[in-house]
Amino acid sequence: MSIIDLQDEIIEEFSMFDDWMDKYALLIDLGNSLEPLNTENKTPQNIIEGCQSRVWLHAEMHEGNVIYYGESDAVLVKGIVSLLIKVLSNHTPDEIINTDLYFIEQIGLREHLSPTRSNGLLAMVKQMKMFALAYKAKS
């Protein structure tokens, strides 16, 4: 599926809920079911420091596609990490670099990406694209 299709799928999934509590319950579920990062990849180099919570991000290249792995110490952040991975993972560097991430705003979770929340998510999105750029340069 393309990045656009994946985003639209998430938007549809979240649109089933009118109530913010249900939306957040889904986000918490997503966070809790995110595969924990291997200890060998949970290194200080992979930390994206936020003021409040931390995000770990690791990327690998597999058959021309970037695969992302991530984690956070806060479950809501972990939920969003899981969504970002779902959308961006398994795509080529070019697809990732040129993508416009609109789904977070559309599902009403924009505040998590605002700079004031200082949770490392904004930096994570940047870092995901940086990884893609780095892999593109390598190839």
| 77 lies in the binding site for another protein (CB under 8 A) | yes
Among the listed residues 102, 80, 88, the one whose alpha carbon sits nearest the alpha carbon of residue 130: 88
In angstroms, what is the minimal distance from the CB of 51 to another protein?
6
Binding mask 102-131 for another protein (x = CB under 8 A): ----------x-----xx------------
Instruction: For residue 72, count CB atoms less than 10 angstroms from its CB and return exposed for 0-12, middle for 13-18, buried for 19 or more.
Output: buried
Eight-state DSSP code of residue 63 = T
Q: Which is nearer to another protein, 106 or 118 (CB)?
A: 118
Cα distance between residue 84 and residue 69, in whole Å = 10
Residue for token pair 């190839």: 139
Eight-state DSSP code of residue 116 = G
| 47 lies in the binding site for another protein (CB under 8 A) | no
- Segment lying near another protein (by CB under 8 A), choices 7-15, 24-32, 41-49, 89-97: 24-32
Which residues contact another protein (rule: CB under 8 A)? Answer: 20-21, 24-25, 28, 51-53, 73-77, 112, 118-119
